[in-house]
Chain A
Amino acid sequence: MKANFKLAWRNLWRNRRRTLITVGSIFFGVLLSAYMSSMQEGSYEKMVDMVVKYYSGFMQIHHEEYWENKSINNTFELDPKLEQQVLNCKEIDYVIPRLESFALASSENLTKGVMVLGISPGKEHKLMSLADRVVEGKYLEKGDEGLIIGEGLAKYLKLGVNDTLVMISQGYHGISAAGKYPIRGLIKHPSPDLNKMIVFMDLANCQEFFSAENRLTSLVVNVKKLDDLNKSLRKIRNNLPAPYSIMSWEEMSPDLVQQIESDRAGGVIMKMIVYIIISFGILGTIMMMIAERRREFGVIIAIGMQRKKLATILFFETIFIGLIGAISGLIVSIPLLVFQYKNPIPLTGQTAQAMEAYGFEPFMFFSLAPSVFWQQALTVFIFTVIISVYPIISANKLNLIKALRS
């Protein structure tokens, strides 16, 4: 085997320039594909973060009718037994109670529909890092009677810290909800959409506003490891009594999942086109290598090398080309993407406006997910293995006399 490796390796460098050009095409293909994948996955991660880490959490328990009809009437009372039952599942990290509804907020002559989120300040910080996002004033405390609002909303309503926000809404079972609350702080929510409409209140204060004492719209359930999400979802779902239901973030945001999947499929097609072009380049090189050495193959078989052994050497040569290209591509793409991960590309002008209009931060984010890298290596490997069928067939079909005369 060592001799086969040695021979294959030396054969590879018989025409150094040609091998380098072929390796170069793979190198740039891998680099381009890794860059493209990282950019795609980075934007998906950001989208998911926006939904999971800055809003929904990984799973939520609701009243079974809430998701179909998101009314304050479809809330549930927090049962400590339910909370304990969920926390008993070893994959679960923590739970966060929430009461969420809508209200009309106003100041002076300005009004705006807002999303009111009753939260436990400490627990919610754990999920959304809210305290770190306060840009002016301070974060809520437990039992706080004030509120914090999105920076965009404050700008719209021309309000600042210590100003008063008036809200009216419909409370539990049709009771009128109205109140005026001091603004403790302004928050820059990562979602531009929510930044323009979010109002955070302490949970008890919110329940009082909506006359929904001890009631929740959702119990956010977070797992310790993302990999355990589906397992824990199944576990909880199987043991969840009526009238509760549990949903994963994917079930709560099917549009997002679909958007990511279709975009990912588009990326796969693009990458396949790149790899198919590269593969034809490799195939061309291999075909030339074989055509040039037909006589040599004839001699080698004549003096006693089995065809399968010759095929193995040719297989190694093909694989070496793929591996050198893929590894060099990865060696360069890893530091490049680490840099891009730490320094997302800021978008400007209309592109930035369009991104913000869709509720995303105007940045091109990158991902360092292992799949970004191993998928390129695997794809190159698969393509080179497919290409290596050609030299294997050639070695097995070689006509000895014709080869020796060539």
Chain B
Amino acid sequence: MNIIEIKNLKKTYNDSEVEVHAVNGVNLSIAEGEFAAIVGPSGSGKTTLLNMLGGLDDPSGGNILIDETELSHLSSSDLINFRMRNIGFVFQSYNLIPVLTAKENVEFIMQLQGKPKKDREERTYQLLEAVGLKGREKSRPGKLSGGQQQRVAVARALASKPKFVLADEPTANLDSKSTENLLDIMEELNKKENITFIFSTHDQRVVNKARRVITLEDGKVISDIRKD
């Protein structure tokens, strides 16, 4: 079952006098439980595509349907709520809230959702254990390594039980051991809990793990390979 349908998606920037087609007529379907990587050279439109898919940026044309909800039909406030309930984000620079502990960072999104404390704590401990951070619940981001912070970010992205997780260059700032570790965790979560992961990446290790590789160039999909 497809959870994401992208139809003729376009994003054009009018910086200075030159029109830049960052995304130029992309058509894609992503099914539940996929572990997909979007690859391509710098400037190929990977991040722009991911931003539009996450409802962070408005397309210049085309449609994005997530579970039959057309993103462009949502108001700004509804879009934020939609993201909160349906999309998990993992950023390149972890982007945890520095004044909150690992536990509080994971719990944060569930607080926004208004979930009861008991449920929040149960899910938080479960997720931190899943990403191998049991015992580091009270550590603030500054006391964690880059790899550990990124694992907290993954736990945070999964906290709201999203339909899919968007990860923009999640391993770019990690050493190889942390990268391997993080990818194993995400792969395991994908297989065990059927969580859909969509990466944008330059990292060959991520590409190797991905079961579907979508290659972009000049804002267009030039190949879409399923490994299964």
A400's contact among B56, B77, B98, by CB below 8 Å, is which?
B56
Chain B residues, Cβ within 8 Å of A112 = none
User: Quick check: is A242 within 8 A (CB to CB) of the other chain?
Assistant: no
Contact bitstring A225-254, B, C-beta under 8 A = 1, else 0:
000000000000000000000000000000
Per the bound structure, the CA–CA distance linking A303 and B57 in Å amounts to 14
Taking A7-B100, A401-B57 as contacts, is the C-beta distance between A307 and B95 under 8 angstroms?
no
Size class of the A contact interface (CB-based, 8 Å): 20 to 34
Taking A302-B89, A304-B109 as contacts, is the C-beta distance between A296 and B95 under 8 angstroms?
yes
B80's contact among A296, A299, A305, by CB below 8 Å, is which?
A305
Per the bound structure, the CA–CA distance linking A404 and B81 in Å amounts to 18
B84's contact among A10, A14, A299, A304, by CB below 8 Å, is which?
A304
User: Quick check: is A295 within 8 A (CB to CB) of the other chain?
Assistant: yes
User: Quick check: is B201 within 8 A (CB to CB) of the other chain?
Assistant: no
B91's contact among A3, A306, A307, A404, by CB below 8 Å, is which?
A404
Nearest chain A residue, comparing its CB with the CB of B77: A306
Taking A7-B100, A404-B56 as contacts, is the C-beta distance between A306 and B80 under 8 angstroms?
yes
Q: Is A14 a contact partner of B99 (Cβ separation < 8 A)?
A: yes
Chain B residues, Cβ within 8 Å of A92 = none
User: Quick check: is B112 within 8 A (CB to CB) of the other chain?
Assistant: yes
User: Quick check: is A157 within 8 A (CB to CB) of the other chain?
Assistant: no
User: Quick check: is A300 within 8 A (CB to CB) of the other chain?
Assistant: yes
Per the bound structure, the CA–CA distance linking A194 and B118 in Å amounts to 78
User: Quick check: is A111 within 8 A (CB to CB) of the other chain?
Assistant: no
Size class of the B contact interface (CB-based, 8 Å): 20 to 34
Nearest chain A residue, comparing its CB with the CB of B80: A306
Contact bitstring A342-363, B, C-beta under 8 A = 1, else 0:
0000000000000000000000
Q: Is A14 a contact partner of B98 (Cβ separation < 8 A)?
A: yes
Per the bound structure, the CA–CA distance linking A13 and B100 in Å amounts to 12
User: Quick check: is B160 within 8 A (CB to CB) of the other chain?
Assistant: yes
CB distance from A303 to the nearest CB of B (A): 6
User: Quick check: is A11 within 8 A (CB to CB) of the other chain?
Assistant: yes
Chain A residues, Cβ within 8 Å of B160 = 304
B88-122 at interface with A (beta carbon < 8 Å): 89, 91, 93, 95, 97-100, 108-109, 111-113
User: Quick check: is B51 within 8 A (CB to CB) of the other chain?
Assistant: yes
Q: Is B97 a contact partner of A304 (Cβ separation < 8 A)?
A: no
Per the bound structure, the CA–CA distance linking A404 and B54 in Å amounts to 13
Per the bound structure, the CA–CA distance linking A302 and B85 in Å amounts to 12
Per the bound structure, the CA–CA distance linking A299 and B160 in Å amounts to 15
A3's contact among B57, B84, B85, B111, by CB below 8 Å, is which?
B111
CB distance from A313 to the nearest CB of B (A): 11
Taking A7-B99, A10-B99, A14-B99 as contacts, is the C-beta distance between A302 and B54 under 8 angstroms?
yes
CB distance from B107 to the nearest CB of A (A): 9
Q: Is B100 a contact partner of A302 (Cβ separation < 8 A)?
A: no
User: Quick check: is B209 within 8 A (CB to CB) of the other chain?
Assistant: no
User: Quick check: is A301 within 8 A (CB to CB) of the other chain?
Assistant: yes
Nearest chain B residue, comparing its CB with the CB of A405: B47
Q: Which residues of A contact B (CB under 8 A)?
A: 3, 7, 10-11, 13-14, 295-296, 299-307, 309, 400-401, 404
Q: 16 A-B contacts, Cβ less than 8 Å apart?
A: A7-B99, A295-B93, A296-B95, A296-B97, A302-B83, A303-B89, A303-B108, A303-B156, A304-B80, A304-B83, A304-B160, A305-B80, A307-B80, A400-B56, A401-B56, A404-B91
7 A-B pairs with least C-beta separation: A304-B84, A10-B99, A299-B95, A304-B112, A3-B111, A400-B56, A401-B57
